[in-house]
Amino acid sequence: MKISHVAALVQKEYYQIIRDPSSILIAFVLPIMLIILFAYAISMDISKIKVGLILEDGSNYAQTLAGAYINNQYFDVKVARARHAFEEDLIAGNIRGIIIIPRDFGRDIEQGQIKPIEIITDGTEPNTANFIQNYALAIWSAWSNQQAVLSGIQPSGRISVEGRIWYNPELESRYFLLPGALALIMTLIGSLLTGLVVSREWERGTMEALLSSTITRGEFLLGKLIPYFFLGVISIVISTCVIIGVFQTPFRGSLVALGACSTVFLFTALGMGLLISTLAKDQFVACQITFISSFMPTFLLSGFIFEINSMPLILRLITYIIPAKYLIACLQSIFMVGDVMNILIPNICYMGVVAVIFLTLTLIKTQTRLE
Amino acid sequence: MWNRIRTLIVKELRILMRDKKTRVIIIAPPILQLLIFTYACTLEVKNISIGILNYDTGYESRELVDRFKYSPYFTRITFLKNLDEQRDFLDSQKGIITLTIPNDFSRRYENGEPVKVQLLTDGRKSSSSQIASGYASSIISDFQRPEGADAIEPLRIRNWFNPNLDYRYFTLPSLVGILCMIMGIMIPALSIAREREFNTYDQILVSPLSTIELLIGKTVPSLIIALLQVTIMIGIAVFVFGIPFIGNLFLLYFSVIIFMTSIIGIGLFISSLCRTQQQAILGVFAVAVPLVLLSGYATPVENMPRYFQYLSTLDPLRFFLVISRGIFLKSMSFSAVVGNLIPIICIAFFTLNFAGWFFKKKLD
């Protein structure tokens, strides 16, 4: 292996990167865009849900309960008296649920019974439907505690539950989404960009020129690895600054830990990108495979948004071979908890092993002769 | 004219289906994605691992712990001995929730005095841990209900269109739109970028094709593939996953055609700005990701800040998802569908015109 060969290749790649606006797009514009989208467009914190309220009963109890549903931070309420007033709206998706306070609601309470109120939700959005159920119940409970008459009907609990949330007491979803966005950014640069670059060499026939030169496989791979590694590093540094500086995400771990796990993960992502492009030799195919095998798993199967334990067994087993799962665990801990060695060391070791496997496979699979 | 268009369409389809690798790559990924998405995208929480720190040795506390043991939600219980173990349990993500029972729990509970237990949850996984803590609270309130007494149900809940709130009812109809959209942007964007990269675009320029013919010839092949994919995906949703399809199938196909035309317009728009395939792919990426995130699939549009809500009105996918779920599950009426199609038509009009203008400029 000659340093001068590698240096020449790196230089060529460097020119290609800075002359192509799309590399700048992927390294600097896309990351910032992803961060902004994850900070604002994805919010796990539900804001006011639009519901319709049907008040069939005119009693005092019904009025105060309706008041409780109208004046709270969970619901944005429209009121009507007839039962079928809101069905069209629910089908069209203008409202997400209907709350019905039935006839005789007040009379039953005076007789010492509880008449259930009816809740209809739009099941096509199960998440929102769940929130409506929970909020509707919470508001009912708060209201019933205020109503002295009801206290005799409801058994009061003796055990009180004190809930506390560690690491993220305000439940800001961006605190865990933004570190996850970092993982997506690394996958983009490492796998997608690198994947495209090598398959382009095949597609355009410049690979043949390289093959007929005196360059060895190792030199070729290093020539591709080094420039994109640095591009990735620059992009991570900028993204991290934006996440911490602009979006005020806590950073409780150390920069050393962040550097260590990002570096190792970048190598796995680069290894994957190189391997895919070596096998695909076609940019469209490489792009599709990268999307399926690295971008999508990073998004779906890494525990970043969706809980791994809730998935079916097969998918849970698949998550073990997805490097992003290990990175996300590291990143979320570094940002929100600190350097938890129990998490960092095993996860980094695993990613290291994956990187070595990918790079070795690429080295073996890179052909030095034409078919 | 029709002859020329047909030739172009046949040529485009041949390029897309040129060899086994590309054929597989056009058909297989959307189906694979459909399956993985459907199984992975659930915000339900199951198989929760809980840590219990029980300082009490009394009977009542063991009863309470047993309730957790027999709960279907908490499948793994770790018994913790002290605060250090508890901290390590949460720090190292061995579980997302712990329950602490104080040492006077049984005594006070038997005497009817108020008593306090503590639930600690991991804020790194805030949504799952909130749900887990909801399950735990309901186990605790069941525990203290006197024997034989029924739970008072102050609410009678009915979930329309999806009685058991099965998450797949939401995911599958949405994915039909999302996955077709990704292909629908990618194929036209790449087809022109490819012509330019291989310098065959100049040959089109010198051919007798007019702007409108070229536009149709580039749009129709992607539309054919999109319709094929929609058909396969609806088939999977209905026959494999058993999602009921109660609406009008023709209305859905009609909407798909309009939606895909607007999407292909976006793809052609991107390709007009790109010189290489790499640029086109990255351009597609830069457009498709925001389209998906702003569509209301990941989180409802109402939850977004106001400016993002305005931005999302430029997103055809936002309107198509309402239509797709509406027709699939709610048998949405024609007028409601049209109300959502109008913004899509406006977007299609704009993007196709721009692409046409671009082709024309190159032809002149």
Is the predicted pLDDT of residue B135 greater than 80, yes or no? yes
* CB within 8 Å: B156 and A33: no
The string of pLDDT tens digits covering residues B55-93 is 998 888 898 999 999 888 888 899 999 989 998 898 888
* CB within 8 Å: B25 and A288: yes
Residues B137 and B196 in one domain: no
The string of pLDDT tens digits covering residues B210-226 is 888 888 888 899 899 88
The 3-class secondary structure across chain A, one letter per residue, is CCHHHHHHHHHHHHHHHHHCHHHHHHHHHHHHHHHHHHHHCCCCCCCCEEEEEEECCCCHHHHHHHHHHHCCCCEEEEEECCCCCCHHHHHHCCCCEEEEECCCHHHHHHCCCCCCEEEEEECCCHHHHHHHHHHHHHHHHHHHHHCHHHHHCCCCCCEEEEEEEECCCCCCHHHHHHHHHHHHHHHHHHHHHHHHHHHHHHHHCHHHHHHCCCCCHHHHHHHHHHHHHHHHHHHHHHHHHHHHHHCCCCCCCCHHHHHHHHHHHHHHHHHHHHHHHHHHCCHHHHHHHHHHHHHHHHHHCCCCCCCHHHCCHHHHHHHCCCHHHHHHHHHHHHHHCCCCHHHHHHHHHHHHHHHHHHHHHHHHHCCCCCC
B125 Cα to chain A: minimum distance (Å): 7
A8 Cα to chain B: minimum distance (Å): 23
Residue B11 lies in a domain: no
Residues B134 and B181 in one domain: no
B287 neighbourhood in chain A, CB within 8 Å: none
A117 neighbourhood in chain B, CB within 8 Å: 154-156
Nearest to A168 among B36, B123, B331 (CB): B123
Is the predicted pLDDT of residue A151 greater than 80, yes or no? no
Residue B194 lies in a domain: yes
Residue A31 lies in a domain: yes
Domain that holds residue A146: 49-152
Distances (CA, A) of B49 to A165, A167, B39, B62, B326: 16, 18, 20, 18, 37
* CB within 8 Å: B114 and A160: yes
Residues B283 and B182 in one domain: yes
Residues A210 and A304 in one domain: yes
Chain B residue with Cα closest to A309:
B47
Q: Are A64 and A31 in contact (CB under 8 A)?
A: no
Q: Are B100 and B118 in contact (CB under 8 A)?
A: yes
What's residue A148's pLDDT?
57
Residue B159 lies in a domain: no
Distance CA A275, CA A344 (A): 26
Residues A38 and A101 in one domain: no
Residues A37 and A83 in one domain: no
* CB within 8 Å: A342 and B121: no
What's residue A149's pLDDT?
54
CATH number at residue B109: 3.40.1710.10
Distance CA A269, CA B81 (A): 41
Tell me how many residue pairs between chain A and chain B have CB atoms under 8 A apart.
313
Residues A199 and A267 in one domain: yes
Residues B127 and B56 in one domain: yes
A34 neighbourhood in chain B, CB within 8 Å: 289
Chain B residue with Cα closest to A279:
B21
Residues B197 and B259 in one domain: yes
Residue B37 lies in a domain: no
Residue of B33, B44, B119, B157 to mutate when probing chain A, most A C-beta within 10 A: B157
Distance CA A3, CA A107 (A): 90
- pTM for the model stands at 0.85
From B88, B113, B143, give the residue that closes a domain: B143
Residues B354 and B206 in one domain: yes
Sign of CA dihedral A313, A318, A323, A328: negative
Domain that holds residue B324: 164-363
Nearest to B165 among A25, A130, A173 (CB): A130
Residue A165 lies in a domain: no
From A88, A121, A152, give the residue that closes a domain: A152
Residue B346 lies in a domain: yes
What's residue A292's pLDDT?
82
What's residue A299's pLDDT?
81
Single out the residue of B169, B143, B150 nearest to residue B70, CA to CA. Answer: B143
Residues B175 and B279 in one domain: yes
What's residue A327's pLDDT?
92
Say what the ipTM of the complex is.
Answer: 0.83
Residues B192 and B136 in one domain: no
Length of chain A: 371
A169 Cα to chain B: minimum distance (Å): 7
The string of pLDDT tens digits covering residues B52-63 is 999 998 888 898
Total count of domains within chain A: 2
Residue B325 lies in a domain: yes
B124 neighbourhood in chain A, CB within 8 Å: 167-168, 176, 332-333, 336-337
Look up residue B347 and give its two tokens.
Answer: 């977007």
Residue of A13, A16, A19, A22 to mutate when probing chain B, most B C-beta within 10 A: A22
Residues A34 and A57 in one domain: no
Residue B2 lies in a domain: no
* CB within 8 Å: A120 and B116: no
A130 neighbourhood in chain B, CB within 8 Å: 165
B208 Cα to chain A: minimum distance (Å): 28
Residues B221 and B339 in one domain: yes
What's residue B173's pLDDT?
92
From A121, A152, A183, give the residue that closes a domain: A152
Look up residue A310 and give its two tokens.
Answer: 């809730």
Residue B337 lies in a domain: yes
The string of pLDDT tens digits covering residues B275-298 is 888 889 889 988 998 999 899 887
The string of pLDDT tens digits covering residues A236-263 is 999 999 999 998 888 999 999 999 999 9
Total count of domains within chain B: 2
Residues B168 and B275 in one domain: yes
* CB within 8 Å: A116 and B156: yes
Residues A271 and A123 in one domain: no
Average pLDDT score over residue span B292-311: 86
* CB within 8 Å: B130 and A171: yes
A126 Cα to chain B: minimum distance (Å): 5
Average pLDDT score over residue span A91-107: 88
Residues A322 and A268 in one domain: yes
* CB within 8 Å: B162 and A91: no
B166 neighbourhood in chain A, CB within 8 Å: 126
Residues A211 and A352 in one domain: yes
Chain B residue with Cα closest to A176:
B124
Residue of B19, B24, B101, B160 to mutate when probing chain A, most A C-beta within 10 A: B160
Residue A370 lies in a domain: no
Is the predicted pLDDT of residue B191 greater than 90, yes or no? no
Residue B140 confidence class, pLDDT cut points 50, 70, 90: confident
B308 neighbourhood in chain A, CB within 8 Å: 40-41
Residues A248 and A293 in one domain: yes
Is the predicted pLDDT of residue A307 greater than 90, yes or no? no
The string of pLDDT tens digits covering residues B319-328 is 999 999 999 9
Distances (CA, A) of B51 to A164, A308, B66, B73, B81: 14, 18, 13, 13, 10
From A152, A183, A199, give the residue that closes a domain: A152
The string of pLDDT tens digits covering residues A203-234 is 888 888 887 888 888 888 888 899 999 999 99
Residue A164 lies in a domain: no
Nearest to A126 among B170, B281, B333 (CB): B170
Look up residue B123 and give its two tokens.
Answer: 């804020």
Residues B205 and B326 in one domain: yes
Single out the residue of A272, A298, A262, A278 nearest to residue A358, CA to CA. Answer: A272
Distance CA A84, CA A162 (A): 42
Residues A257 and A143 in one domain: no
Residue A138 lies in a domain: yes
What's residue A233's pLDDT?
92
B171 neighbourhood in chain A, CB within 8 Å: none
CATH number at residue A79: 3.40.1710.10
Residues A136 and A190 in one domain: no
Distance CA B130, CA B24 (A): 42
Residues A34 and A53 in one domain: no
From B90, B114, B143, give the residue that closes a domain: B143
Residue of A121, A159, A192 to mutate when probing chain B, most B C-beta within 10 A: A159
Residues B105 and B171 in one domain: no
